[in-house]
Structure 1
Amino acid sequence: MKGNFEPLILAFCCNYCPSCSADLAGSLKMQYPSNIRIIKVPCIGTVGTIHILKALENGADGVCLVGCSEGKCEYSSGNYRARKRV
């Protein structure tokens, strides 16, 4: 493990915005790092602290929330809800 540690990162990604870039990368045969796992969610506002804690409890070294830009949430205020919660 010396010098070879790659943290396992779990990324919760909004289905309507940034996760599309992961889909695009796949269709173009591009790759993102193998230590990143993407979980698509209907809206980043649906991710609660319990989901983050469970991810860490189950072996993730880090968690990333990726959502829509301010004012561009498909569900109006999901990104604001996520920011307030987390």
Structure 2
Amino acid sequence: MREYSTLGGTCWWTSRCTRPLASILAGAAHDKALGEEANVDTTWIEPLNDLLRRAVAAGHGGHSIAALTEVLSGEASTGARCSSS
């Protein structure tokens, strides 16, 4: 498994890029509740939240968002590959 926790930097859309994946995922429920309260469709972010859940389950919870590349490429510690369907 590659070490991503030491990667720094910022993203143009959010500071979440340098936060651990588990922390980003923890905010997903709040984001959904806030969207429902404001009557805003948040279904567009569900694929990202699913990817975050898979990454955390594969042991990347303490890593930065850069670790999602391993999940996307199928190199996650569980050996699971993304489906092509």
The TM-score with structure 1 as length reference comes to: 0.29
The TM-score with structure 2 as length reference comes to: 0.29
Higher helix proportion: 2
Higher strand proportion: 1
